[in-house]
Structure 1
């Protein structure tokens, strides 16, 4: 099953995506309110609603009102190596976690601003995990039962602001720097994520490519770890990290700029595309 949130008639509306159409829920309803429930029953109910063509719709972030967006840093070995120079070394005992505000989220198809105060705007292809059933102290063995779905995410990073201090938050929370979508795909449609490919394509050139099996900390570990220090809630998002190939460490650097087109692909889950303009 696939769900999306769009702007329609001046309202945020979510719905079930099937083929080239979306069956919209009634006005005022929100996807987050259903994520800890029976999504198959929700899909059956939405199939009874009129279908709207997806052609020309305006997407919003899949979960535009996420309460907590937890991002994982340096979670692929090749990315850790390219940024820290650590090859064949041991890895940390715990994930690196930083926070994004929901106000930083953006949508598939949006033109995103290149901030006038940053000179190092970078891309990061990532898989986002959307929480369904919330909880605290979730065991790794139970963690996948708390997943409502998955979506592509681009963790756009203002590297100069990320490195201004010891905390990454400023470089990760500029407005419209976290495009997320276009759809949430439920786990039953995805199956085993291990062989799932993830890649980033900038102006037609593949700059990042890996597989979810190469995460240092896998999805059950991330859910369990995060639930130890926050209460996870339906609609919360865990952004699982980016593989090697980011732009600022390349020689010469390859960065985002006005006029460029950036695509994040996650096999079986979706294709997230954005263009850029000067702020």
Structure 2
């Protein structure tokens, strides 16, 4: 099933995607819903059609970042073999990880405003949302704890990223990582069987990869991360980007003011973000 966080009539609600619209659920957003011990039972009851208020028409709602308040946002920097090779690196034995803040996330159709960067780059990604607490988890336990999957773009300020050996400052600008438009529950998708991850820039395809080529699967990432920090319901893990980022092109290519960036994973949905970069609008 597909879940969302929507705004309707000035209020936000977690919702189940149904024919013609969105059925509200008893939480203001999916972060709050996943924190409820009985969230799976709530979804089962809602999907049976025997509970819940009237459906909100799709034309009357605004889709928001589905999980606006994760305690942790952890990202895998190099996880598709072709992207690793285009960056001039060898395939890793362990995942390359870094963190973001909840403030870094934004809505699926939000503008991306990043006036401080001249080398703004795209990174289309599959994101995993945790559904139950994980600590020292096996891969099987990690797989069972996945609430679902959504789409992300780890938009990166390469000039800031290159300032030091640490990536953090180029990855954590406020409201620069769109997420959404919905969360597809884990029983409805299997990334290991293969999901296309696609990014287009002003209508031109710049990235296309498949999650079956991930070096570290979603379950492997969650298992590994849980060995050093506890993961809780609503936490988000970005699984890495396929080849085709601007920094890997010859010559390098970066986003310009007014560009339209579209990120899609068929079966989940599409992000559409307009770039606002006044610092390089005249370039």
TM-score by length of 1: 0.91
Residue matched to 1:251? 250
Deviations 1:109-162 (A, max 9, x none): 11221x222100000000000000112001012221000000000000001111
Deviations 1:66-94 (A, max 9, x none): 1100000111111111112x4xx5x2221
The DSSP-based 3-state class of the residue aligned with 1:183 is strand
Gaps of 5+ in 2: 279-283
Deviations 1:210-233 (A, max 9, x none): 110111111111010000111100
Does the Cα contact within 8 Å between 1:23 and 1:46 map onto a contact in 2?
A: no
Listed as ranges, the matches of 1:1-279 within 5 Å are: 1-26=1-26, 29-35=28-34, 37-38=39-40, 39-44=43-48, 48-55=52-59, 57-84=61-88, 86=89, 89=90, 91-113=91-113, 115-191=114-190, 193-278=192-277
Does the Cα contact within 8 Å between 1:261 and 1:276 map onto a contact in 2?
A: yes
d(CA) in 2 for partners of 1:10, 1:129:
28
d(CA) in 2 for partners of 1:127, 1:193:
12
d(CA) in 2 for partners of 1:148, 1:43:
16
- Number of aligned positions between the proteins: 273
Structure 1 stretches of 4+ with a deviation exceeding 4 A read none
TM-score by length of 2: 0.90
The DSSP-based 3-state class of the residue aligned with 2:118 is coil
Does the Cα contact within 8 Å between 1:15 and 1:46 map onto a contact in 2?
A: no
Gaps of 5+ in 1: none
